[in-house]
Amino acid sequence: MTSRAPRRSIRARRARSAAMVALTVVAALLATLPLVLILGLLLKQGASSLNWAFFTAMPKPVGETGGGMANALAGTLMLIAIASAIGLPVGIGAGMYLAEHRGGRLASVVRFLSDVLNGLPSIVVGIFAWQFLVRPVKHFSALAGGIALAAMMIPLVARATEEMIRLVPNSLREAALALGYPRWRTSLTVVLRTALPGIVTGALVAVARIAGETAPLLFTAFGNQFWSTSLTQPISALPLQIFSYAISPYEEWHSLAWAGALVLLALVLVISLIARYVTRSRFGHGHD
Amino acid sequence: MTTITAPLAPEAPPSDARPGAVAVENFSFWYGPKQALFDISLDLVPREVTALIGPSGCGKSTFLRSINRMHDLLPGTRSTGRILLDGEDVLDRSVDVVQLRQRIGMVFQRSNPFPRSIYDNVAWGPRLNRRPSRSALDEIVEQALRRAALWDEVKDRLRTSALGLSGGQQQRLCIARALANEPEVLLLDEPASALDPIATQRIEELLWELKKELTIVIVTHNLQQAGRVSDRTAFFYLGELIEHGPTDQLFTAPREERTEAYITGRFG
């Protein structure tokens, strides 16, 4: 064997390496480009219509200027609350089951089905919710919308919880068991608490994901031009309001739709930032 | 180095009241179809340190974990024979494994403090098992940390994260955590294998103090360590207990050829 490669081949190798690095940099920039463009466009189009009234005022009838989306904002928050109240306990519980019985047959069936549910087009979830929650009672409701969103949330939360619980070292489980902790209590106090920041992050990501969902709400929450906080009445939501305003023929409504889109994006951004912050303090636990 | 003080817990009962005698009779153990331990009979004497030595995979840890039934978690394990703690068979289905593990503390090879404060780590067991008042709990935590020779180093930072401690301190914290349950028996699975010599020495000195009140069983790969800390030594090989007896005797005049071969370093 010769002692070392000739100089030229090293230079060629370095050039190839540099080219590859450059390609990945370009790809990374392209990956963030859509978000930057969307944000720029929304700021340009929506910021001008964004004022205090947008958050506090109700929609005005066609032809009147001004008005806001207070009902849609409240509706979105309420739908998120309903979805979380159902989706988080079920999702976290299912995730705990998947993590603690990872080898079991039921676990692999549940894991597979939750992956399928996760990949299900959201419009299908909406139709399903309509069939079972709207048709029987013959009217749209906030509850049906919240449940449809919960169905989208559960697989996300369950898989995030499972991943986070798996990251908890087995030695911690053993430590608690060796101190005389029953198994259920070990799961709850040691495993779940250690995994909690990660689970919170997963939950927030799931909330951010459903906050902007439109399709599952089309035939469930339906939308509402008036103020409503009733579970059994149709309720407005930001994405629904944006949709109906954007396809309307009125200039005034178009700009309100832009503003609504900007607010929705800001909401998702804030939730994501909180999720990031929680992740960063994962092993801090308030001490130190 | 700070000197090691061994203040006996004032409320601790006299040592005679806590026998902690473990008698193992014809104990065999299987992981699924594979037999890991063959017909082990061994007495673990209160107020003595028993060292379990032998090459890797010879069943020392399996044996140790059988005593407080840590194998209950693993599917497919089974055993025959008896392990008597103060005359009661710990393997009996009627024995509450939760109570059993409070009487038999365990310290693992890698220190495994919970990612919480030092105080919370030590208070973990008592909080569940005895539900003491706040001041009583403070007392229990202090006593446990003193017995583990850690109090002076951590008394000003009890509320800081246990993960901020050094490796040796974390391992002593794990010992303190086990002691806070007031166990009769303390099982240690290679407690010093990941520690530097100074930290190892501190753990060994600690065992000398603790054995005044407890039955101590330690698994070790370090023969010098076994010689230093133990009163009795048991040599395991391929799942069998080859020989056991007073440490001096086993190291100077082993009866079995395999024991001699192992302690003189011919294999292992």
Q: Mind telling me how many Å the CA of B136 is from chain A's nearest CA?
A: 19
Q: Mind telling me how many Å the CA of A95 is from chain B's nearest CA?
A: 20
Query: Taking a C-beta distance cutoff of 8 angstroms, is the pair A235, A221 a contact?
Result: yes
Query: Taking a C-beta distance cutoff of 8 angstroms, is the pair B68, B35 a contact?
Result: no
CB count within 10 Å of CB B208 equals: 14
Phi, psi of A251, rounded to the nearest 5 degrees:
-55, -45
Residue that has been written with the tokens 């419009």 in this structure = A123
pLDDT exceeds 50 at position A284? no
CA nearest to A169 within chain B: B112
Provide the residue range defining the domain that includes B50.
22-110+182-263
Which stretches within chain A are classed as H helix?
7-46, 52-56, 70-100, 105-119, 122-129, 142-167, 170-178, 183-185, 193-211, 215-218, 238-246, 251-280
Task: Check if B167 contacts A (Cβ < 8 Å).
Answer: no
Region of residue A218 (left: phi > 0; alpha: psi -120 to 50; beta: else): alpha
Helix or strand or coil: residue A235? strand
Contact B101 A179 (CB under 8 A): yes
Mean confidence (pLDDT) of chain A: 86
Contact B159 A287 (CB under 8 A): yes
What are the chain B neighbours of A180 within 8 Å (beta carbons)?
98-102, 125, 128-129, 181
Indicate the number of domains in chain B. 1
Query: Taking a C-beta distance cutoff of 8 angstroms, is the pair B246, B48 a contact?
Result: no
- pLDDT tier at B268 (50, 70, 90 boundaries)? low
DSSP state string for A263-283? HHHHHHHHHHHHHHHHHHTTT
pLDDT exceeds 90 at position B187? yes
Q: Mind telling me how many Å the CA of A153 is from chain B's nearest CA?
A: 29
Residue that has been written with the tokens 């579970």 in this structure = A231
State percent of chain B over pLDDT 90: 63
Q: What does the alpha-carbon distance between residue A235 and residue A118 come to, in Å, rounded to a whole number?
A: 25
Select from B170, B251, B190, B178 the least CA-distant residue to B215. Answer: B178
> According to the model, what pLDDT value does residue B163 have?
92
Sign of the C-alpha dihedral, residues A25, A26, A32, A37?
positive
Question: What are the pLDDT digits (tens) for B24-41?
Answer: 999 999 999 999 999 999
Q: Does B197 reside within a domain? A: yes
Contact B108 A174 (CB under 8 A): yes
CATH code of the domain containing B229 = 3.40.50.300
Q: Does B139 reside within a domain? A: no
What residue type is assigned to position A256 of the chain? L
Select from A216, A218, A243 the least CA-distant residue to A122. Answer: A216
Average pLDDT over residues B255-261: 91
Question: What are the pLDDT digits (tens) for A79-132?
Answer: 999 999 999 999 999 999 998 887 778 888 988 998 898 888 989 988 988 988
- pLDDT tier at A206 (50, 70, 90 boundaries)? very high
Q: What does the alpha-carbon distance between residue B56 and residue B39 come to, in Å, rounded to a whole number?
A: 19
Q: Does B5 reside within a domain? A: no
Average pLDDT over residues A249-272: 89
What residue type is assigned to position A47 of the chain? A
Q: What does the alpha-carbon distance between residue B181 and residue B126 come to, in Å, rounded to a whole number?
A: 6
Task: Check if B28 contacts A (Cβ < 8 Å).
Answer: no
What are the chain A neighbours of B159 within 8 Å (beta carbons)?
287
In chain A, what are the domain boundaries? 4-49, 52-287
A41 vs A44, A50, A55, CA distance in Å? 5, 14, 21
> According to the model, what pLDDT value does residue B15 have?
44
Q: Does B56 reside within a domain? A: yes
Phi, psi of B50, rounded to the nearest 5 degrees:
-105, 125
Residues of B (97-136) whose Cβ lies below 8 Å from A: 98-102, 105-106, 108, 110, 112-117, 124-125, 128-129
Select from B181, B179, B185 the least CA-distant residue to B21. Answer: B185
Contact A287 B128 (CB under 8 A): no
Q: Does B92 reside within a domain? A: yes
Q: Mind telling me how many Å the CA of A163 is from chain B's nearest CA?
A: 18
Sign of the C-alpha dihedral, residues B31, A183, A85, B116?
negative
Q: What does the alpha-carbon distance between residue B112 and residue B121 come to, in Å, rounded to a whole number?
A: 10
Task: Check if B23 contacts A (Cβ < 8 Å).
Answer: no
Question: What are the pLDDT digits (tens) for B6-18?
Answer: 444 444 444 444 5
User: Cα-atom radius of gyration of chain B, to the nearest Å?
Assistant: 18
Q: Mind telling me how many Å the CA of B141 is from chain A's nearest CA?
A: 15
Q: What does the alpha-carbon distance between residue B37 and residue B71 come to, in Å, rounded to a whole number?
A: 13
> According to the model, what pLDDT value does residue A5 have?
59
Does domain A52-287 fall under CATH 1.10.3720.10? My reply is yes
CB count within 10 Å of CB A21 equals: 10
CA nearest to B157 within chain A: A288
Contact A178 B68 (CB under 8 A): yes
> According to the model, what pLDDT value does residue A278 have?
78
Contact B114 A175 (CB under 8 A): yes
Q: Mind telling me how many Å the CA of A173 is from chain B's nearest CA?
A: 9
pLDDT exceeds 90 at position A220? no
CB count within 10 Å of CB A63 equals: 7
Which of B73, B95, B130 best tests the A interface by mutation, with the highest count of A CBs <10 A?
A: B73
Contact A171 B110 (CB under 8 A): yes
Q: pTM score, two decimals? A: 0.73
Q: Mind telling me how many Å the CA of B115 is from chain A's nearest CA?
A: 7
A227 token code pair? 């103020």
Question: What are the pLDDT digits (tens) for B55-97?
Answer: 988 999 999 999 999 988 788 899 999 999 998 899 988 888 8
Task: Check if B66 contacts A (Cβ < 8 Å).
Answer: no
Task: Check if A190 contacts B (Cβ < 8 Å).
Answer: yes
Contact A179 B99 (CB under 8 A): no
Q: What does the alpha-carbon distance between residue B63 and residue A272 come to, in Å, rounded to a whole number?
A: 49
The partner residue sitting opposite B161, judged by closest CB among A175, A179, A288, is A288
